[in-house]
Structure 1
Amino acid sequence: MAKINVFVFAAHHLAGNIAAQRFKGLLKYLDPAKYRIFVFAREPAAGVSASASTATSTADITVFPLPGHCVGSESSTAASLLTMASAFLRPLPFLLSGSAERGQPWLVNALAAADRLCVEKRDAGERCVAIGTYSPIDSLVAAASLASRHRIGCLQDFRDGLVFEPLGKPGSLRTWVRSLVEGRVVAAADLITSVSPPLVADFQRRYPGKAAAILPNGYDPADFVAADKPIDDDTRVAAMLARHVPAGARLIGHFGRIGASDGSASKSLDFFVDALNESPAVVAGNHVMFVGELTAAERATLERARFSVSAPGAVERTLALQLMQRCDKLLLLTGSRASCATGKLFEYLAAGADIVCVSGVRNAATAILAETGAGCSVLTSAGASAGEALRSALSPRPADTHRDISPYSKQSQAGMLDRWISDMVHS
């Protein structure tokens, strides 16, 4: 039987960040005997090797690193307007396509490459499906454009939303534009996916005629050492631990951004520092290390900490994963977003340490911790009892605590994606 061709528009695929892992880890577990996968990404940033970024692929996967700007802070107004207009005038980017040029928006270059391949495969009698994964919005527009042009199945993956909880710059005009564009890219979709129940419920309410399903973030088991095997540390791990962590201290680690991703999460950091400042007995023998980008305000918060703490800054992902596996506790800080199921949570799950989530509200992340038994949550709104709950959470947990993280393995999730794609090509 001929293979199914999957055209994945994922502008961030080679970025090396958490967002890039969503489909990068997932696609390689699709059956290579059944699927041929083409990923249209932005060319990697300076210093990031495209070949290194795709070296772990084991299936029939081809990644196209293409030039051009996407909608966002770095994009010119003209380039952004063209992409937005393409959501409503779907033939527009095809009219501008030619060879990949640096002067063209990424959307035009991605569709030029995808269109040629789609024509070739359909002329050969093969089936095709388009997938767009947000953000940026350009990827969703590209998937809608290709699917509409060739009348093929389309899955639009919104990851952590576009309209439900605003992630971009605030303002009523921007919110209105996001709603219009969202409606257009959803119109081309056979299936809408997103990371958490609140987001999927919102899509089901606003688009009752469209199928919507949860495709949670997850972890790639290939990135983590099995519990019964020793960790083969990069020499830099030992150097970092020796430089930042007092000998014999229990390590509490936080990885990635806090307020730079969700401003309300910075309040959870404030609570965490204040609560530990009032608990000298709890923090004795512990060290808290923040690995990742912090805002100036967050660094100021850490400066008033009266416990052992360090903030070595951002490190490359492979090093961060090894450091996670050296932690005794992993700290997750979320704010007021009900849909929050940040990508780092799933890497925390696979790293194996007990997770302590400090959150402004009960959200998707706190629900996942309760479901998996991988940790516990402390709500900052709980008043005086919250401090005591945090102190209890930082204590060692019983060794026989039940823990099941298997639903969040990308190997397991690939089975869901396989069923969805199969349904599209056979409907």
Structure 2
Amino acid sequence: MTKINLFVFAAHHLSGNIAAQRFKGLLKYLDPAKYRIYVFAREPAPGAPAATLPPTPGITVLPLPGHCVGSESSAAASLLTMAAAFLRPLPFLFAGGAGRGQPWLVRALAAADRLCTEKLAAGERCVAIGTYSPIDSLVAAASLASRRRIGCLQDFRDGLVFEPLGQPGRLRTWMRQLIERRVVAAANLVTSVSPPLVADFQRRYPRKAAATLPNGYDPADFAAPGNATTDDPRVAAILARWVPAGALLIGHFGRIGASDGSASRSLDFLVDALNASPATMANKHVMFVGELTQQERATLERARFSVSVLGPVERTLALQLMQRCDKLLLLTGSRASCATGKLFEYLAAGADIVCVSGVRNAATAILAETGAGRSLLTGDGAAAGDALRAALAPGAADAQRDIGPYSKLAQAGMLDRWITDMVQP
């Protein structure tokens, strides 16, 4: 049986952000006897921290230089990529050049096209996968799939049209809609992180297959806490410095309003509710690990309970700190589709999760489904405050929790079935 070649365009693959973990932890669980995987990643900028990836059978990661559409590139520098969404042969016309300013899209497609041509000539099957963000990855997958007439999966995570980090403005919104429409047109299957987002794709593109590929956790990332062979010595040092001895530790990891501005209001509610009940926070400490906005830091300055703000730390250290928490705090806002990546790492970390949210959303549904924690809505006023205080009381997590469907191992099985169906004659 001939192998299936996957050409995965993931510009963010070598970064340390949570988006990178989506496919980084997934691909390694595909059967190397069945798949040969090429990941086209963006080479980290000089001085930027780069992810360390252990060698994995069947997976080749190709770090390529070049700018992508985003805050670090000018509008002029991004024109080729945006134009390529509409004129798919365009980037291949520039593939022979070697200019220093060549976009990542051109370099990635040149490398992928050579490999794809070789594999197709050998009678092997090929599939292109684009993983947002940036849009360059989606455009690359659409371009290769159209040129070589191969299957295409476009994974949007929680972008493009509904990307909260996109710059505002009618023109930019219109352009995002047009580009989304073009990259979806080349896809055999569109995936996104939560059922509300998938339902939106199905409504707007009724002739396209769409499926939920939730974020998840990689079982290999979670060793038993307290294991001297795996614990980073910095974990004990951080806890000794910031957490009062014997205190119940409540941890929040990652961004809040920087990813979803409405989630900052949940932080406001949390601080007000805990300030109003000093007895609730006796012998408890709240630790924030990750990027906070200036306004969120100002909110925490008025906290009258024990709290610390560590700022961002490397992912492996953050995961070990998660496993040392007694409670894990999730703050979401008014987006019904919200299923933030940190939730799934929280699930695997094992502590009881307390979600403060503006609305019932995908995250609160997952907590109810898995039995991994409790949710409360800021709009419930005094009742929400009472629920928060009860949720933060000492107590074991639900023994009936079932988080198996959110393991990357289980999700790799879903991806395998989708790709297998895609290449059937």
Fold equivalence (TM over 0.5): yes
Deviation at 1:332? 0.6
Deviation at 1:230? 7.1
Partner of 2:376: 378
1:31 equivalent in alignment to 2:36: no
Contact 1:357–1:366 (Cα < 8 Å) also in 2: yes
Deviation at 1:102? 3.5
1:344 aligns with one of 315, 318, 342:
342
Q: 2:367 & 2:100 partners in 1: Cα distance? A: 44
Contact 1:192–1:213 (Cα < 8 Å) also in 2: yes
Structure 1 residues 358-367 or 94-103, which shifts more? 94-103
Distance change (3 Å), C-alpha of 1:328 and 1:30:
same
Partner of 1:321: 319
1:213 equivalent in alignment to 2:202: no
- Could you tell me which amino acid in structure 2 is paired with residue 358 of structure 1? V
Deviation at 1:46? 3.7
Contact 1:164–1:202 (Cα < 8 Å) also in 2: no
Partner of 2:270: 272
Partner of 2:58: 60
Report Cα offsets for 1:10-37 as digits up to 9, x if no partner: 0100011110000000000000000000
Contact 1:160–1:195 (Cα < 8 Å) also in 2: yes
Report Cα offsets for 1:198-231 as digits up to 9, x if no partner: 0000000000000000000000000001589777
Partner of 2:146: 148
Partner of 1:189: 187
- Residue 280 of structure 1: SS of its match in structure 2? coil
Deviation at 1:58? 2.8
- Could you tell me which amino acid in structure 1 is paired with residue 420 of structure 2? S
Distance change (3 Å), C-alpha of 1:167 and 1:104:
same
- Residue 340 of structure 1: SS of its match in structure 2? coil
Q: 1:248 & 1:358 partners in 2: Cα distance? A: 25
Partner of 1:131: 129
Contact 2:4–2:126 (Cα < 8 Å) also in 1: yes
Contact 2:334–2:358 (Cα < 8 Å) also in 1: yes
- Could you tell me which amino acid in structure 2 is paired with residue 13 of structure 1? H
Q: 1:273 & 1:384 partners in 2: Cα distance? A: 14
Structure 1 residues 395-404 or 3-12, which shifts more? 395-404
Q: 1:399 & 1:96 partners in 2: Cα distance? A: 56
Contact 2:193–2:215 (Cα < 8 Å) also in 1: yes
Partner of 2:171: 173
Partner of 2:79: 81
Matches within 5 A, 1:153-168: 153-164=151-162, 166-168=164-166
1:424 equivalent in alignment to 2:422: yes
TM-score (norm 2): 0.97
Q: 2:257 & 2:397 partners in 1: Cα distance? A: 33
Contact 2:371–2:398 (Cα < 8 Å) also in 1: no
Contact 1:15–1:45 (Cα < 8 Å) also in 2: no
Partner of 1:289: 287
Any unmatched runs of 5+ in structure 2?
Answer: none
1:198 equivalent in alignment to 2:228: no
Q: 2:397 & 2:234 partners in 1: Cα distance? A: 30
Q: 2:45 & 2:344 partners in 1: Cα distance? A: 25
- Could you tell me which amino acid in structure 2 is paired with residue 44 of structure 1? P
Deviation at 1:44? 2.0
Deviation at 1:171? 1.4
Deviation at 1:174? 1.0
1:233 equivalent in alignment to 2:231: yes
Contact 1:249–1:287 (Cα < 8 Å) also in 2: yes
Structure 1 residues 287-296 or 41-50, which shifts more? 41-50
Q: 2:104 & 2:82 partners in 1: Cα distance? A: 13
Partner of 1:335: 333
Deviation at 1:47? 4.7
Deviation at 1:124? 1.0
Distance change (3 Å), C-alpha of 1:291 and 1:232:
same
2:68 aligns with one of 67, 70, 76:
70
Report Cα offsets for 1:323-368 as digits up to 9, x if no partner: 0000000001111111111110000000000000111111110100
Deviation at 1:402? 1.2
- Could you tell me which amino acid in structure 2 is paired with residue 171 of structure 1? G
Structure 1 residues 391-400 or 339-348, which shifts more? 391-400
- Could you tell me which amino acid in structure 1 is paired with residue 373 of structure 2? G
Contact 2:357–2:377 (Cα < 8 Å) also in 1: yes
Any unmatched runs of 5+ in structure 1?
Answer: none
Report Cα offsets for 1:287-326 as digits up to 9, x if no partner: 0000011111111011000000000111000000000000
Distance change (3 Å), C-alpha of 1:161 and 1:399:
closer
TM-score (norm 1): 0.97
Q: 1:343 & 1:101 partners in 2: Cα distance? A: 37
Contact 2:225–2:320 (Cα < 8 Å) also in 1: no
Q: 2:168 & 2:380 partners in 1: Cα distance? A: 29
- Could you tell me which amino acid in structure 2 is paired with residue 213 of structure 1? A
